Amino acid sequence: MQRWHRTVSLRASSGDSNVTGSSLSEVAALDKLIDLLKGASGQQELTKLVAENLLAFDQKFWIRLATRSDAAQSSAEKEGLTNLANTVMKIVDTIVKRTNSELADSGRVLQEILAAGANDRGEWELPLPADKVAAMRAALDARAEHLNEALLSNAFAWMRKASEDGLDGMVALLQKVLQLYAGRTLTRAGTLSDGDPAEAAVERLIAAEEEDWDSLLRQQEAQQVGETAMLAALRKKMEVLVLSLPSGSYAQRVQAEYLKELEGRMQAAFQSANAS
């Protein structure tokens, strides 16, 4: 499987005195970020701020920083902004290089997880047999330290490429990897309330194979707990665990989609039971 990487190159230019095309609100946001970086109490805090705002360090940011340096009222202020620009740029470059390295490593790990689901000929049978799903799950467990944003980013990139190339089977395989990741991660987050029947039932569903959800929801236990209680437990899980993840992260996206799919299947199962 081929891997695609995008290298970010940042250069500050002090020759431009205007933030062309930027609205006043954009300028204000850039100034707020610059002031936040200036106010960092040390290298550790500055690095944290840069990492948290990495996508903001685009051409407009560097032009605005250069403009403020040109308009500085004192040599000390100008020197401070110049030093800030140099330091931030080095931090950004370090983060980008580390991210690219992590993407390369995660690509190898993702290949290994997919390979665990292949037969002796290196081919995949869809839908995957139960033993191959178990093998992929075991491969995820064995590589727990690599189940990070880089791996999820690679999975989505490969899915887009496979979809563009008409490789529907590979899309399905990658979706299975993401399902297994979500179930594994959500299960290991633990229960929210010991002894609650609805939450216990939801936890068992989350840990189960997606193909088994419908049969589990038709079982007597789920029907006795009831739709209202189970949906409330599921939404509590979503709020506490998923919404606590970094906003916009792949981890948040994958786990939220997994729980939303379970929610839809749960509603459909109870509607079907009520109609019969």
- pLDDT per residue as tens digits for the range 146-193: 999 999 989 999 999 999 999 999 999 999 999 999 999 999 876 656
Q: Which residue has the higher pLDDT, 220 or 137?
A: 137
Supply 17's token pair: 């005195």
Helix ranges (DSSP H) in 39-118 = 43-52, 59-70, 75-115
Q: Using alpha carbons only, what angle is made at residue 106 by residues 156 and 174, rounded to the nearest 5 degrees? A: 35
Query: pLDDT at position 173, please?
Result: 96
Query: pLDDT at position 98, please?
Result: 81
Handedness of CA 239, 244, 249, 254 (dihedral sign): negative
Are the C-beta atoms of residues 271 and 263 closer than 8 Å to each other?
Answer: no
Specify the amino acid at residue 73. Q
The verdict on pTM exceeding 0.85 is no
Q: Cα-Cα-Cα-Cα dihedral of 39, 41, 47, 53, to 10°?
A: -30
Supply 108's token pair: 């190898």
